[in-house]
Amino acid sequence: MLFIEANRTALVLAPMEGVMDAPMRALIADLGGFDFGVSEFVRVGQSVITAKQILHEIPDLNGPVFGSAKLPLQLQLLGDSPELLAGTAIEACIAGARAIDINFGCPAPTILRRSGGASLLRNPKAITEIIRSVRDALPSVIPVSAKIRLGWEDPNDVDGIAQAVQEGGANWITIHARTKQEGYRPGVHWDAVARVRSRLSIPVVANGDLFTAEDVARCEAETGCTHFMIGRGILKNPFLAHDVRASRALHALREDIPLQLDDRLRISIERYAAITDDQAANAGFVPSRVKQWIRMVRDISDSVPHQVLTAVKKARTTSELLNLMHGS
C-alpha cells in the first residue's frame, strides 16, 4: 500500500537521515510489519534533480537492492522552490516513484540555513504554494503528502500550518508532535495533533516518541489517529511494527519473533549482516553501520546488551562482529 486510507490503519516507516538507508530498509522489509516507508529526503537546491540522480541517492526506490524482501517506498523531497520541487517530482515519477512526500519538519541547521525543512513552518503560505505546485504537476494517481512539526516554537501554530497543507491539495499529512525548537526533547503534544485531526478532512499520521505498542495505543487514545509513523523506536526494537499489529488485533505475533528485546536486537543485527555483507563496499561496512545504529539506540535507551556493545566496539569485519556477539 502506498496510500493512506481513512478506514485502514497504516504503519509507516519514518525517514531517518544517516541511518535509515537502503540496507537498513532492506532489514526492516525482511522483518516485515510496515505498510510502506518514506525515503530519506532528496534535497532540491538550485536545479531540478534528475531521475538518474534520484535513483543514485535512493537506489531502492523501485525495489530491493539488498536482500529480496520488498518495502513500498515513498520518495521524500526537501526544498523551498515550488517550481524546482514540481520539476523534481516529475523526474521522481519517471524514476518510478509512486508517491511523493514533502519535508517541512527537518530541524537540522544546515537545512534551515538554506530555507528548507522546518524553516518553512514560519511561512504557511509558502507551504501551500509548494504543495499545490507539486500536486498540479503530477497525475492524480500519485499521492502527495507533507511531513510537518507543530511549528517553530509555538505548538498552537500547527492549526494554520496544517490548514495550509490541506489547502495545497495534499492527500494526507504527517505531524511530528513537537516544535522545531523542541527538537527531540522528551515529551510530545498529542493534544495539538488531536485538535488538528478533528478539523482536517484529510488523514493525519501521528509521529513522535512511539517506542512501544503501548505508546501507539496512548497516541491513538489521545489523538484519535489510526495511522502512525514510527522512527527511532524501530532502532531499539526492529520488530515493533509486529507488536503494534498484535496489540491492535491486526494479526497475531509471529511465533518466530522473540519476546525479549535483547534477543530481537541480536537477531536483527545478524539478519542485517546477512542481507548486506555480500554487497557491502568494504569489509568494515557492516560493523561501522551497526556501530552507528547502536549509538542511536543508546541515545534513547540504556538497555543495549553488553555482548552487543563489546562486539560493536571491537569488530572490524562482519565475521568478527558475529563471532563476538556469540562469545567466540
Query: Nine-digit cell at 286?
Result: 557492516
From CA 208, how far away is CA 190, in angstroms rounded? 9
Q: Which of 78, 16, 90, 18 is nearest to 43 (CA)?
A: 78
Residues 6+ apart with CB under 8 A from 15: 37, 38, 39, 40, 41, 76, 103, 231
Pairing assessment for the beta strands 42-43 and 73-78 based on DSSP bridges: parallel
Band (250; pLDDT cuts 50, 70, 90): low
* Residue 93 falls in the annotated catalytic set: no
- Specify the pLDDT at position 279: 67
List C-alpha distances in Å: 246 to 240, 275, 294: 10, 26, 26
Please identify which of the residues 93, 106, 219, 225 carries the catalytic annotation: 106
Task: Name the DSSP letter for residue 66.
Answer: S
What would the pLDDT profile of 26-69 be if each residue is shown by its tens digit?
999 999 999 999 999 999 999 999 999 999 999 999 988 887 88
The residue whose grid cell reads 485502514 is 8
Task: Name the DSSP letter for residue 178.
Answer: S
> Among 26-30, 182-186, 218-222, which is the least confidently predicted range?
182-186
Q: Which residues pair with 48 in a beta bridge?
A: none
What would the pLDDT profile of 73-112 be if each residue is shown by its tens digit?
999 999 999 999 999 999 999 999 999 999 999 888 888 8
Tell me what the mean pLDDT of segment 8-17 comes to. Answer: 92
From CA 225, how far away is CA 177, in angstroms rounded? 12
3-state secondary structure of 227: strand
- Specify the pLDDT at position 195: 98
Whether 72 and 97 have beta carbons less than 8 Å apart is answered as: no
Domains of the chain: 10-247 (3.20.20.70), 261-325 (no CATH)
- Specify the pLDDT at position 251: 66
Helix axes 318-325, 285-300, angle to 10 degrees: 50
Tell me what the mean pLDDT of segment 222-232 comes to. Answer: 96
Q: Would you say residue 328 has pLDDT above 60?
A: no
From CA 206, how far away is CA 220, in angstroms rounded? 9
Task: Name the DSSP letter for residue 156.
Answer: G
Task: Give the end-to-end CA distance of the chain in Å, rounded to a whole number.
Answer: 43
Q: Which of 173, 196, 174, 177 is nearest to 186 (CA)?
A: 177
Whether 39 and 88 have beta carbons less than 8 Å apart is answered as: no
Sequence-ordered strand ranges (E) for the chain: 10-13, 36-38, 42-43, 73-78, 100-104, 144-149, 172-176, 204-207, 227-230
